[in-house]
Structure 1
Amino acid sequence: MAKRIQFRAHGGPEVLEYVDYQPAEPGPKDVRVANKAIGLNFIDTYYRSGLYPPPSLPSGVGSEGAGVVEAVGKDVTRFKVGDRVAYGSGPLGAYSEVHTLPEANLVRLPDSISFEQAAGVMLKGLTVQYLLRQTYELKGGETILFHAAAGGVGSLACQWAKALGVKLIGTVSSPEKAALAKANGAWATIDYSHENVAQRVLELTDGKKVPVVYDGVGKDTWLTSLDSAAPRGLVVSFGNASGAVDGVNLGILAGKGSLYVTRPTLGTYANNAENLQRMADELFGMISSGKLHVDISQHYPLAEAAKAHTELSARRTTGSVVLLP
């Protein structure tokens, strides 16, 4: 038996339960991992609330963690018992002492990266990798807009953009978060609580706007993102922190400059074991070289996952948050 977090019904953080459960035995191509650290992400709240329905109820929570392989299926070839591994996707249930998942969802974790670093960076870091290196491949010299620049994904994006020679304009909600984004490498910040974001983007870019907007906020920033993109620019809507974007009128894209819009997911880019490991290797290389610092701002015992969700939803966290089994 082991401990895990689960929910039997959708709702707020109070629906999360800390329970005993029987970990699944590995199937032929599965690996069972003894978690050493677990990542907390906004998408976890989407499954808990029902925005993203889980396959069934009761359901486990979470899809990111790092640990040591403790058992492998008979057809597993890439890993063996004792290997250090990390994962940022797969079946729900990472909020647990032990997690079983497909071999293809795991990456090798180099000794230079700690379990906590990996758990705090896999989903967010791989997201930044595909956003900046694949969805819109930044070459250096561009000026871009990135919403929620002091959050977990945003903090990494600020650093990665600076390393690429890109001027990142980051939106924030307070002077403290503005300072954090600047410390992480943002070229400029806009406090959306009292500034007009699109107008400030226009001013900061001498009227040109930006070729790409990265928007993980969703509903509340959708029109602002469209207004900040240059003609034939790209709006990358990759998250729903304020709710899903719906009722999109394609005609508005024409009126605002023949804009492009995409709604990417990590799974589409890390769609096989080789692509996933390649993306992770680039991420780990950025960390090992010192170009990317993983800020683990808060630690919570696994049993206090509900408290961690409350703090995350209230925007009282910065950087990465990890749960410790």
Structure 2
Amino acid sequence: MPKAIRVQDYGGPEVMAYEDVPTPQPGPGQIRIRAGAIGVNFIDIYFRSGAYKAAQLPFTPGKEVAGTVTAVGEGVTGFSVGDRVATGSGEGTYAEEPLIAASAAVHVPDGIDDSTAAGMMLKGLTAEYLLHRTYAVKPGDTILWHAAAGGVGLIACQWAKHLGATVIGTAGSAEKADLARAHGCDHVILYREEDVAARVREITGGKGVPVVYDGVGQDTLAGSLDSLAPLGLLASFGSASGPIKALDLGLLAAKGSLYVTRPTLFTYASRPEILAEMAKNLFSVVQSGAVKIPVNRTYKLAEAQQVHRDLAGRETTGSTVMVP
């Protein structure tokens, strides 16, 4: 029997059990894959803890996986047994043989291995929609990216640099700052030691930036708003420090008619034709060498509890994957 991580009830990492499960049979519109590598993301912690609710309990966490198709459900076109595929918006991917919706899967081109694909789908597609769709970064822009040494950050900073932007990143340590610089950041602000907004104003000659990409949440909200130029956009795409509890809309007026959005990958990728376009853009920038996918930690699927502890404790940089 294949193995999977099962969560009986919400809680800490200890609620994740590594168990035998029946081999799943794909229903209409589904494909089953043999996982080669499984991506790990902060959203998995939100679901495990109950901050986000699963469709039912018990459940298997996970959104991201790359592997080989082993069975195809009724009505599925475009995928065959033996195809290499990946998804960043699946369900229950912490498994040796997960089922995923064919509409959420993309073909993985030759030259991109399973670990790279699993380390890039959710994070890379997040970078894609943020940099190309939420605010289209263009040559000459100066942008601010919080947690520049994180999983999305290391991909996005390289990509933004490739698009011709000047990239300001924030990091929590000198080591992470060095990593961010090595992945496209022109300026790195040590947020524990420096006033982020003041440094952004200094770097931009007092103007501020047209866009701030913020996956941190409550802790960085004030600094993000204060870093924006008039009519600037705060793209709040995550809440690693906790969700934003309240935002006084009057502040947006006072600080220069600012915009705030809370986008998600799942909204952007919900149409297969858009998802395919996004994946093509991502794969091409990786294959060209302009963006490298830093898979910095690899664990066994059985070590999922430790993976979550390390991720929550900010012990990881870049992408983390598990292998069956």
Mapped partners of 2:169, 2:45: distance in 1: 24
Mapped partners of 1:67, 1:38: distance in 2: 9
| Residue 178 of structure 1 pairs with residue 174 of structure 2 | no
- Partner residue, 2:242: 243
- For structure 1, which runs of at least 5 residues remain unmatched after alignment? none
- Partner residue, 1:61: 61
- Partner residue, 1:265: 264
| Residue 115 of structure 1 pairs with residue 103 of structure 2 | no
Helix, strand or coil: the match of 1:59?
A: coil
Mapped partners of 1:23, 1:198: distance in 2: 52
For 1:265-290, what per-residue CA distance to the aligned partner results, in whole angstroms no more than 9, with x for missing partners?
A: 01111121111111001101011000
- Partner residue, 1:22: 22
Letter in 1 for 2:311: L
Mapped partners of 2:248, 2:66: distance in 1: 42
For 1:64-122, what per-residue CA distance to the aligned partner results, in whole angstroms no more than 9, with x for missing partners?
A: 0000000001211110000000000022x100000112110100000111110000000
- For structure 2, which runs of at least 5 residues remain unmatched after alignment? none
Query: Following TM superposition, by how much is the alpha carbon of 1:171 offset from its aligned partner in structure 2, in angstroms?
Result: 0.4
For 1:44-64, what per-residue CA distance to the aligned partner results, in whole angstroms no more than 9, with x for missing partners?
A: 000011110111111111010
Letter in 2 for 1:84: R
- Partner residue, 1:49: 49
2:24/2:97 contact within 8 Å kept: no
1:231/1:256 contact within 8 Å kept: yes
Mapped partners of 2:53, 2:74: distance in 1: 32
Aligned residues: 324
Query: Following TM superposition, by how much is the alpha carbon of 1:163 offset from its aligned partner in structure 2, in angstroms?
Result: 0.6
- Partner residue, 1:278: 277
Mapped partners of 2:17, 2:155: distance in 1: 31
Mapped partners of 1:10, 1:296: distance in 2: 28
Mapped partners of 2:189, 2:294: distance in 1: 22
1:37/1:115 contact within 8 Å kept: yes
1:211/1:230 contact within 8 Å kept: yes
| Residue 150 of structure 1 pairs with residue 149 of structure 2 | yes
1:231/1:257 contact within 8 Å kept: yes
For 1:212-265, what per-residue CA distance to the aligned partner results, in whole angstroms no more than 9, with x for missing partners?
A: 000000011011111111111000000010011122211111111110000000
Letter in 1 for 2:128: Q
2:30/2:72 contact within 8 Å kept: yes
Structure 1 residue runs of 4+, over 6 Å off?
none
Mapped partners of 1:24, 1:251: distance in 2: 52
Q: Which moved more, 1:308-317 or 1:8-17?
A: 8-17
1:214/1:235 contact within 8 Å kept: yes
Letter in 1 for 2:95: S
- Partner residue, 2:81: 81
Mapped partners of 1:130, 1:23: distance in 2: 34
Mapped partners of 1:23, 1:280: distance in 2: 29
- Partner residue, 1:12: 12
Query: Following TM superposition, by how much is the alpha carbon of 1:39 offset from its aligned partner in structure 2, in angstroms?
Result: 0.1
1:23/1:100 contact within 8 Å kept: no
Letter in 2 for 1:189: V
Mapped partners of 2:50, 2:23: distance in 1: 24
1:162/1:186 contact within 8 Å kept: yes
Mapped partners of 1:23, 1:154: distance in 2: 36
TM-score (norm 1): 0.98
- Partner residue, 2:309: 310
Mapped partners of 1:275, 1:204: distance in 2: 36
Mapped partners of 1:209, 1:263: distance in 2: 21
Mapped partners of 1:23, 1:274: distance in 2: 30
2:141/2:166 contact within 8 Å kept: yes
- Partner residue, 1:290: 289
Mapped partners of 2:318, 2:243: distance in 1: 23
RMSD across aligned positions (CA): 0.8
Helix, strand or coil: the match of 2:98?
A: strand
Identity of matched residues, %: 55
Query: Following TM superposition, by how much is the alpha carbon of 1:23 offset from its aligned partner in structure 2, in angstroms?
Result: 3.5
